[in-house]
């Protein structure tokens, strides 16, 4: 898809996994330099991810993000400078308790995400544990229901991990029970559940209002189906070369893959648009 751009951009929102991170879950080469170039030219750069802040912090620090970030698939906006929550949308506790029981029945891993950490009952299989560098604070607890009762604090997001066919069954059971209506496959082996009405697009709109930036002056970079909501509301969208065809078709431009510094390339293309519109 092409677009005759006459608009300059004041904010660039970048997805994390599959976009600014390479397939090894490390910050892709060139990303830090490209973000620094954008900021030097007066363009704010933010991250927008299904991750919580605890697992985004290493990216924030390595890349040099100072703008508020969006995490939990849109469930919260967090100011990294003041270390304060700007906006938060928790999951309802009664439905979350039902979800715990359902995931036990299907023998899948349920991770309940809070802004800084997370908890789960079942450990990751050998070889699939997150790298310590990535800051995941996922506490293995014996009983999620007991923890929820003691905390009396709802999570901002739930993530279900398992084999793809089993997850399709879990997805359908959740839908049939009417537990949650904001669900998406964040990969073939994971389902993200966020509060009703929340997605990356709605939270990016809220962040733009907070920063007093019109949506036509927001550019976005992403790689997965759950990024389409922010594609729809932004002024310009770039899909990664590793994105599914549906995501590429919805974007104004397609970048190289995340393992080929596609995010850095995309940032610089957006900066070129600013130069052309000047």
* 220-272 pLDDT tens trace: 999 999 999 999 999 999 999 999 999 999 999 999 999 999 999 999 999 99
CA atoms within 13 A of residue 217's CA, in its CB half-sphere:
16
140-181 confidence digits (pLDDT tens): 899 999 999 999 889 999 999 999 999 999 999 999 999 999
Instruction: For residue 4, tell me if it sits in a domain.
Output: no
Among all chains, which residue has been given the structure tokens 């003041």? 82
> pTM (2 decimals)?
0.90
Domain co-membership, 207 together with 235: yes
Domain co-membership, 166 together with 111: yes
Select from 167, 174, 164, 151 the least CA-distant residue to 100.
174
Domain range for residue 41? 11-88+198-277
Last residue of a domain, one of 193, 208, 224: 193
* Residue 185's pLDDT band (cuts 50, 70, 90): confident
Domain co-membership, 128 together with 44: no
Q: What is the CATH number of the domain that holds 234?
A: 3.40.50.1000
Instruction: For residue 5, tell me if it sits in a domain.
Output: no
Among all chains, which residue has been given the structure tokens 């397609």? 254
Cα→Cα distances 163→40, 108, 188, Å: 44, 8, 8
Domain co-membership, 74 together with 205: yes
* Residue 136's pLDDT band (cuts 50, 70, 90): low
Q: How many residues does the chain have?
A: 278
Dihedral (Cα; 240, 241, 242, 244), 10-degree rounding: 80
- Supply 84's token pair: 């304060």
Domain co-membership, 28 together with 116: no
Higher pLDDT, 132 or 31: 31
Last residue of a domain, one of 144, 162, 193: 193
Instruction: For residue 256, tell me if it sits in a domain.
Output: yes
Q: What is the pLDDT of residue 94?
A: 95
Higher pLDDT, 184 or 61: 61
Domain co-membership, 99 together with 28: no
What is the percentage of the chain residues whose pLDDT exceeds 70? 91
Domain co-membership, 165 together with 114: yes
Q: What is the CATH number of the domain that holds 153?
A: 3.30.1240.10
Sign for the pseudo-dihedral over CA of 27, 9, 115, 175: negative
Assign 3-state DSSP to the chain and report helix, strand, coil percentages, each to 5.
Answer: 40, 20, 35
Query: Reduced to 3 states, what is the DSSP secondary structure of residue 267?
Result: helix
Instruction: For residue 249, tell me if it sits in a domain.
Output: yes
User: DSSP label at 10?
Assistant: S
Instruction: For residue 3, tell me if it sits in a domain.
Output: no
Average pLDDT over residues 118-125: 81
Domain co-membership, 216 together with 125: no
Instruction: For residue 6, tell me if it sits in a domain.
Output: no
Domain co-membership, 181 together with 216: no
Residue 33 burial (CB count, 10 A): 15
Q: What is the pLDDT of residue 1?
A: 38
Q: What is the pLDDT of residue 129?
A: 53
The CA radius of gyration of the chain, in Å to the nearest whole number, is 18
Sign for the pseudo-dihedral over CA of 232, 19, 7, 217: positive
Q: How many domains does the chain have?
A: 2
Last residue of a domain, one of 193, 211, 231: 193
Instruction: For residue 2, tell me if it sits in a domain.
Output: no
Q: Is residue 106 scored above 70 in pLDDT?
A: yes
Range with lowest mean pLDDT among 6-15, 35-44, 62-71: 6-15
Instruction: For residue 123, tell me if it sits in a domain.
Output: yes
Domain co-membership, 98 together with 187: yes
Domain co-membership, 161 together with 221: no
Q: What is the pLDDT of residue 36?
A: 98
Query: Reduced to 3 states, what is the DSSP secondary structure of residue 257?
Result: coil
Q: What is the pLDDT of residue 178?
A: 94
Domain co-membership, 78 together with 146: no
Average pLDDT over residues 114-134: 71
Range with lowest mean pLDDT among 1-15, 120-134, 149-163, 168-182: 120-134
């Amino acid at each position: 898809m092409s677009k005759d751009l006459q608009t300059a951009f004041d904010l660039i929102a970048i997805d994390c996994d599959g976009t600014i991170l390479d397939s090894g879950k490390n910050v892709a080469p060139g990303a830090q330099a490209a973000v620094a170039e954008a900021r030097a030219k007066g363009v704010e750069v933010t991250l927008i991810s299904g991750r919580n802040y605890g697992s985004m912090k290493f990216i924030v620090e390595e890349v040099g993000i100072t703008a508020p970030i969006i995490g939990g698939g849109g469930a919260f906006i967090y100011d990294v400078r003041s270390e304060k929550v700007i906006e938060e949308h928790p999951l309802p506790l009664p439905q979350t308790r039902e979800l715990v029981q359902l995931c036990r029945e299907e023998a899948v891993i349920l991770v309940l995400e809070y802004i800084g950490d997370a908890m789960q009952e079942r450990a990751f299989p050998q070889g699939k544990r997150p790298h310590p560098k990535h800051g995941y604070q996922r506490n293995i607890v014996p009983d999620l229901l007991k923890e929820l009762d003691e905390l009396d604090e709802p999570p901002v997001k739930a993530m279900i991990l398992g084999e793809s066919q089993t997850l399709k069954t879990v997805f359908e059971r959740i839908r049939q029970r009417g537990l949650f209506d904001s669900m998406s496959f964040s990969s073939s082996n994971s389902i993200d559940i966020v509060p009703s009405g929340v997605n990356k697009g709605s939270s990016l709109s809220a962040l733009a209002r907070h920063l007093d930036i019109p949506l036509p002056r927001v550019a976005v970079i992403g790689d997965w189906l759950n990024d389409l909501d922010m594609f729809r509301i932004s002024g310009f969208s770039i899909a990664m070369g590793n994105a599914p065809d549906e995501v590429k078709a919805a974007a104004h431009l397609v970048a190289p893959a995340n393992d080929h510094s596609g995010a850095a390339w995309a940032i610089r293309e957006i900066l070129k648009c600013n130069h052309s519109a000047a």
